[in-house]
């Protein structure tokens, strides 16, 4: 049975994701961390799963490393620990038993292991940072969409919305390009309710459904920008109007 650790580490660069979370969302994240560390079951929404995933990966790697250290110490202990000295050593001035310094001393195993651990830690931190950056970008888009479309806090980042946003990032679309598409959708009369049934078609899942949608709405933003819009629309346009979109 694995030895239970009494503490765990959270890297400071992992905490940058908190800047994109509300106090309630941050609370859910730390509840997820607590549940994971105590081997408890917990139901997580899509947003918390995304944000928690790099923390979980880091915890699992750290725990694996810890268990290896515990196992190594157990093995050393079962061998009786350090060898006992002879009752009458031939060279009392050299308790180590060495008559001279070895000509080609080998490097201690701990030095090699330390270098390997350092490389692994660096790789782990890089992976965590990359995953957090992706999660941050998804949150940035979702929160921007809520602001532009004036959505309430009841709107959640569910699996379908997450998949749509991340899908466009994988295709190479940038945060600014998707933001421009959101603005373009907010300027498109049909999507904002000026249609036969009066329904709005402004969901972020629709905007990011595929690359064609992103480009169509982004082009709408560029074409409609010179016209007079609401203060909110003008504000969002001015924030990103200098972004040059390349949809070749």
The pLDDT value recorded for residue 44 is 81
- Distance between CA atoms of residues 78 and 119, nearest Å: 30
Identify the domain containing residue 190 by its residue range: 156-240
Maximum mean pLDDT: which of 132-146, 204-218, 225-239: 204-218
Of residues 37 and 238, the one with the higher pLDDT is 37
With respect to residue 125, please indicate whether it lies within any of the assigned structural domains. no
With respect to residue 18, please indicate whether it lies within any of the assigned structural domains. no
With respect to residue 180, please indicate whether it lies within any of the assigned structural domains. yes
Give residue-wise pLDDT tens across range 87-140.
555 555 555 545 555 555 555 555 555 555 555 555 555 655 566 666 778 888
The pLDDT value recorded for residue 172 is 93
With respect to residue 96, please indicate whether it lies within any of the assigned structural domains. no
Quick one: which of 75, 68, 73, 78 has its CA closest to 2? 68
DSSP-assigned letters across all residues of 15-34: GGGGGGS-HHHHHHHHHHHH
Give residue-wise pLDDT tens across range 51-65.
888 888 888 888 888
With respect to residue 97, please indicate whether it lies within any of the assigned structural domains. no
With respect to residue 126, please indicate whether it lies within any of the assigned structural domains. no
The pLDDT value recorded for residue 215 is 95
Of residues 165 and 47, the one with the higher pLDDT is 165
Give residue-wise pLDDT tens across range 15-30.
877 877 778 878 888 8
The pLDDT value recorded for residue 137 is 86
Segment 204-224 mean pLDDT: 93
The pLDDT value recorded for residue 207 is 96
- Distance between CA atoms of residues 212 and 218, nearest Å: 10
Distance of CA 170 to CAs 17, 166, 167, Å? 20, 6, 5
Cα torsion at 233, 235, 241, 242 (round to 10°)?
A: 180
Residues 6+ apart with CB under 8 A from 232: 148, 150
Q: How many domains does the chain contain in total? A: 1
With respect to residue 102, please indicate whether it lies within any of the assigned structural domains. no
Task: Using alpha carbons only, give the angle 46, 205, 133 rounded to the nearest 5 degrees.
Answer: 55
**Three-class SS string for 61-91?**
HHHHHHHHHHHHHHHHHHCCCCCCCCCCCCC
For residue 139, the tally of other CB atoms under 10 A from its CB is 21
With respect to residue 3, please indicate whether it lies within any of the assigned structural domains. no
């Amino acid at each position: 049975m694995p030895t239970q650790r009494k503490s765990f580490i959270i890297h400071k660069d992992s905490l940058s994701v908190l800047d994109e979370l509300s106090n309630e969302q941050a609370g859910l994240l730390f509840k997820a961390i607590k549940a994971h560390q105590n081997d408890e079951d917990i139901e997580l929404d899509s947003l918390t799963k995304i944000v928690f995933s790099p923390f979980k990966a880091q915890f699992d790697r750290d725990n694996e490393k810890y268990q290896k250290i515990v196992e190594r110490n157990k093995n050393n202990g079962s061998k009786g620990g350090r060898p006992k000295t002879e009752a009458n050593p031939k060279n009392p001035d050299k308790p180590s038993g060495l008559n001279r310094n070895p000509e080609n001393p080998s490097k201690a195993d701990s030095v090699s292991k330390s270098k390997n651990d350092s490389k692994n830690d660096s790789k782990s931190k890089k992976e965590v940072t990359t995953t957090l950056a992706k999660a941050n970008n998804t949150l940035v888009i979702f929160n921007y969409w809520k602001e532009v479309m004036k959505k309430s806090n009841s709107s959640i980042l569910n699996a379908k919305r997450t998949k749509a946003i991340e899908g466009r990032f994988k295709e190479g679309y940038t945060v600014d390009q998707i933001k421009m598409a959101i603005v373009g959708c907010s300027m498109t009369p049909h999507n904002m309710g000026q249609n036969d049934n009066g329904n709005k078609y402004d969901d972020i899942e629709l905007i990011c459904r595929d690359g064609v949608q992103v480009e169509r709405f982004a082009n709408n933003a560029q074409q409609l920008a010179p016209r007079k819009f609401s203060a909110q629309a003008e504000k969002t346009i001015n924030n990103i109007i200098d972004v040059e979109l390349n949809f070749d």
